Amino acid sequence: MKNIILTGDRPTGKLHIGHYVGSLRRRVELQNSGKFDKIYIMIADAQALTDNFDNPDKVRANITEVALDYLACGIDPNKSTIFVQSHVAELTELTFYYMNLVTLARLERNPTVKTEIKQKGFDSSLPMGFLTYPVSQTADITAFKANTVPVGEDQLPMLEQAREIVRSFNNLYGETLVEPKAVLPENKSCLRLPGTDGMAKMSKSLGNCIYLSDSADEIKRKVMGMYTDPNHIQVSDPGNTSDNPTFIYLDAFATDEHFAKYLPDYACLAEFKAHYERGGLGDMKVKKFLNSVMQETLEPIRLRREEFAKDIPAVWEMLYQGSKSARRVANKTLWQVKRAMKIDYFAEVKKHIKQKKNYDYFSNRK
């Protein structure tokens, strides 16, 4: 079996460091590992429209932003196919057939979708498109026969539903689709990076994100203003590192090399944490170090992003070419699906036409 990756993001905003440690960084490693036959990275504009159907301008503008973020992080269009979901019409067609294999009750049980419905205030006016997006996500994954889906933790329920749909399909119509598995970030702090304000999740509406495109000054301002341990008042007070976003960010980003370079008094993060926990280490020092780490990590990304942003038409051309090539692959799978479902009615007719056989069934009739 081939090793194929598919993953993607909704273009509803620029990508932030939560996306970076939760998935982007891993994708680039997997891309460069040489262990995969094919890698597809999808900008999920159709999915973004399921809760932004009244704001297509936002989705359109953010396709450019997300594409720039990908390129800036090191996703290389020569190694990975970057494409736009809505341009691959086969995905919507597959979605329609997969919908027969899922019940309303099952969709309503998806914990991620449930939370989103609450957050978005959809309780009384839930668009069907939104409720069914896990089905369309199954189409995204299966259209490319992906077996590996690198995502954040919140996407696990989607992968579970995808596997169920694949199993139902294969049971009913014969072995056709590939069951995918999720690949999560290696480190617990990367699973879900909290906001700079200590809230559980980074979210644009809360204004608690550090973006990959933030300037050096913005990064510094955000790091210096971060929420820490509210009970750590005096430098001498013992502090808490486990619910403290500054230390969670260090878990996700800091290496021993960073200590050697910026804080040689400590060999590693464990030593630094131990000092904070027993007291005597001030928040200012922690934040200054975190700022150095973040600056060093984000500067090359920001500079690459600025380079790519100088030629936006080239970015769109790359997306166009990627989408065309993704479409060819999805089309093949769609025909396999149709054959399995016995709805490939015209396959024979098309063969006749191709072979220029006479299939003029009507002319001989009187």
Taking Cα atoms as reference points, which of 124, 64, 131 lies closest to residue 104? 131
Q: With CB under 6 A as the contact rule, which of the stretches 59-67, 149-157, 320-328, 352-360 interacts with ligand TRP?
A: 149-157
The residue (of 22 and 195) whose beta carbon lies closer to ligand TRP is 22
Our finding on whether 151 is near ligand TRP (CB under 6 A) is yes
CB of 23 to ligand TRP, least distance (A): 8
**Token digits of residue 276:** 């904070």
Our finding on whether 8 is near ligand TRP (CB under 6 A) is yes
Our finding on whether 6 is near ligand TRP (CB under 6 A) is yes
d(CA 246, CA 269): 12
The residue (of 9 and 229) whose beta carbon lies closer to ligand TRP is 9
Residue in 24, 26, 47, 244 binding ligand TRP, rule: CB under 6 A? 47
CB of 150 to ligand TRP, least distance (A): 8
CB of 360 to ligand TRP, least distance (A): 45
Per DSSP, the three-state class of 101 is helix
Our finding on whether 44 is near ligand TRP (CB under 6 A) is yes
Per DSSP, the three-state class of 211 is strand
Our finding on whether 27 is near ligand TRP (CB under 6 A) is no
The residue (of 44 and 102) whose beta carbon lies closer to ligand TRP is 44
Our finding on whether 149 is near ligand TRP (CB under 6 A) is yes
Packing angle between helix 312-340 and helix 283-309, nearest 10 degrees? Answer: 90
For the chain, what is the radius of gyration of the CA atoms?
Answer: 24
CB of 287 to ligand TRP, least distance (A): 30
How many C-alpha atoms does 146 have within 13 Å on its Cβ side? Answer: 29
* CA-CA-CA-CA dihedral for 48, 330, 102, 4, to nearest 10: -90
- Total residues at interface with ligand TRP (CB under 6 A): 13
Element (H or E) spanning 251, and its range?
helix 245-253
CB of 283 to ligand TRP, least distance (A): 33
Our finding on whether 9 is near ligand TRP (CB under 6 A) is yes
Taking Cα atoms as reference points, which of 89, 3, 86 lies closest to residue 40? 3
Q: With CB under 6 A as the contact rule, which of the stretches 6-14, 73-81, 225-233, 348-356 interacts with ligand TRP?
A: 6-14
**If you ran DSSP here, which 8-state letter would residue 180 be given?**
P
Our finding on whether 80 is near ligand TRP (CB under 6 A) is no
Our finding on whether 137 is near ligand TRP (CB under 6 A) is yes
Q: With CB under 6 A as the contact rule, which of the stretches 100-108, 133-141, 283-291, 333-341 interacts with ligand TRP?
A: 133-141
Q: Are 44 and 285 in contact (CB under 8 A)?
A: no
Q: Are 133 and 108 in contact (CB under 8 A)?
A: no
Q: Are 41 and 74 in contact (CB under 8 A)?
A: no
Residue in 7, 52, 241, 323 binding ligand TRP, rule: CB under 6 A? 7
CB of 254 to ligand TRP, least distance (A): 26
Residue nearest to ligand TRP (CB): 44
**If you ran DSSP here, which 8-state letter would residue 362 be given?**
T
Site for ligand TRP in 231-270 (CB under 6 A): none
**Token digits of residue 75:** 């996703």
CB of 151 to ligand TRP, least distance (A): 5
The residue (of 65 and 140) whose beta carbon lies closer to ligand TRP is 140
d(CA 74, CA 24): 9
Residue 135, Cα to own-chain centre: how many angstroms? 16
Our finding on whether 63 is near ligand TRP (CB under 6 A) is no
Taking Cα atoms as reference points, which of 33, 75, 23 lies closest to residue 183? 23
Q: Are 13 and 68 in contact (CB under 8 A)?
A: no
The residues of the shown chain that bind ligand TRP, judged by CB under 6 A, are 6-10, 44, 47, 137, 140-141, 149, 151, 155
